[in-house]
Structure 1
Amino acid sequence: MSEWVKLNSNDGHVLSAYVARPQSEPIGALVLIHEIFGVNGHIRRVADGFANDGFLVVVPALFDRYEQGVDLKYEGEDAKHAYELMGKLRPDTALLDIAAAYELAKEAGKGIGVVGYCFGGLMSWLTATRGEDLKIQPSCCVGYYPGGIGKFAAEEPSCPVMLHFGANDTHIGKDQVEAVHTAHPEVEIYVYDNAGHGFSCDARVDFNAPAAALARERTLFFLKTHVA
């Protein structure tokens, strides 16, 4: 079952969130952080998939501060608009909205994981490193192709973290991956051959089905280990 709800951030901002619920008692909860394309069809399908696996999933609409109802495709004018919107996002502000989603996720009464894609992958990392300041204490965090993570590699995560990268990602250099590995050898990092940026998204031209399936298998095991 899925629905749209309203959340309240600590600074008074009201935002929408897509909530996917399992059919039975949740085994845990997830805060799912979207790409720069908003809470679009792909992200909603991802949320529904995790709900089918038994998780309560909350997806905060981080663009609501700047534009309501962002639901963009991955090419053409939609892609152009996505990059325009991305320029407005600020990590510390986004964390306020992630914290609001985390509060709703608490209703599961179980562990809470954070999973993010692209910009959301970066925010998943920053939730692990900065979340405690906002009373976010995730059981674990997972980041898929987290753009710009190299700038924040030295920050200390407060929970177990898993990261997924495509070996052919033209947006995230190998130096960024290495920076995280050097600073945090305990972080589980996977690099997928013949996979580009966005390899896990079935609506992107870079979709790589085998890599996506393997990454999801690893993610699900990681989540069930630390959250369920």
Structure 2
Amino acid sequence: MTEITIKATDGSGEFFAYVARPKSTPAGAVVVIQEIFGVSPAMRAITDAIADQGFIGVCPDLFWRLEPRVSLTDKTQAEWDKAMALLKAFDQDKGVEDLKATLAAARRLEGCNGRAGTIGFCLGGRLAALMAIRSDADCNVSYYGVMLEGLAGELRHAANPLLMHIAENDKFVPKEAQGAVLAAVMPNPRVEAHVYPGVDHAFARVGGQHWDGRAAAIANGRTAAFLARWLA
């Protein structure tokens, strides 16, 4: 596990990304998009797991413009309060541009086969969907993305492959919002969406408040097959 430094495309500075490498290369790269808790232990663990699956994992620090190297958990109210404040202050358009820069950097890494995708969680799930719309990522995976209903029109025409994991009882995504998203993506052959019954937001965060081993295993299996299909 190492870190790399990436220059922002708007010339405003640079940010770090945590990198985990597979045992063998060449390999595709996966940009891991953080939750509202920053490049946390959970995100680093996911990046390591991506490497275990045979891909180069790259997790960039997207809150660097607000506070570099944020690393929080979901265990205390103080951490939740800080994470929500960061979310409100976060410029998502600049975040997408930083992700595009990360995608380009990942493709240039030694051992990368030139293919790169994204996988995001919560806020990152929304940004992964935006990457399917606005970037040249080879594939994208969205876990319980928030505020996606506002992108319904764009998702209907998303050109890049997108796999969506939706929690049926997501406290941050009402049923009406889920329905709007599902109706939008259903006609798009580039988008695959799955709803996981009876689980809440962040059901795939190991050790998290709403961890659900069964739903996580099913979702992660689908993700592994999806990444292998597009990045191998």
TM-score normalised by length of structure 2: 0.92
Higher alpha-carbon deviation: 51-60 or 107-116: 107-116
1:109/1:27 CA distance change after superposition, 3 Å: closer
CA deviation profile, 1:36-90 (whole Å, cap 9, x unmatched)? 0000000000000010111011111000111011000103211110001111112
CA deviation profile, 1:86-135 (whole Å, cap 9, x unmatched)? 1111221001110121112113123211100000000000011112xxxx
Residue identity opposite 2:20 in structure 1:
A
Aligned partner of residue 169 in structure 2, secondary structure:
coil
1:30/1:8 CA distance change after superposition, 3 Å: same
Gaps in structure 2 of 5+ consecutive residues? none
Aligned partner of residue 116 in structure 1, secondary structure:
strand
The answer to whether 1:189 aligns with 2:188 is no
Measured on the aligned residues, the alpha-carbon RMSD in Å equals: 1.1
Match of 1:211 in 2: 215
Gaps in structure 1 of 5+ consecutive residues? 132-136
TM-score normalised by length of structure 1: 0.94
Higher alpha-carbon deviation: 174-183 or 185-194: 174-183
The runs of at least 4 aligned residues of structure 1 exceeding 3 Å deviation read none
Match of 2:36 in 1: 36
Confirm or deny: 8 A CA contact 1:9 1:97 kept in the other structure.
yes
Aligned partner of residue 87 in structure 1, secondary structure:
helix
Match of 1:225 in 2: 229
Confirm or deny: 8 A CA contact 2:103 2:117 kept in the other structure.
no
- How many residue pairs match? The answer is 222
- Identity among equivalent positions (%) equals 34
Task: Map residues 48-67 of structure 1 onto 2, 5 A cutoff.
Answer: 48-67=48-67
Confirm or deny: 8 A CA contact 1:21 1:57 kept in the other structure.
yes
Match of 1:123 in 2: 127
Aligned partner of residue 32 in structure 1, secondary structure:
strand
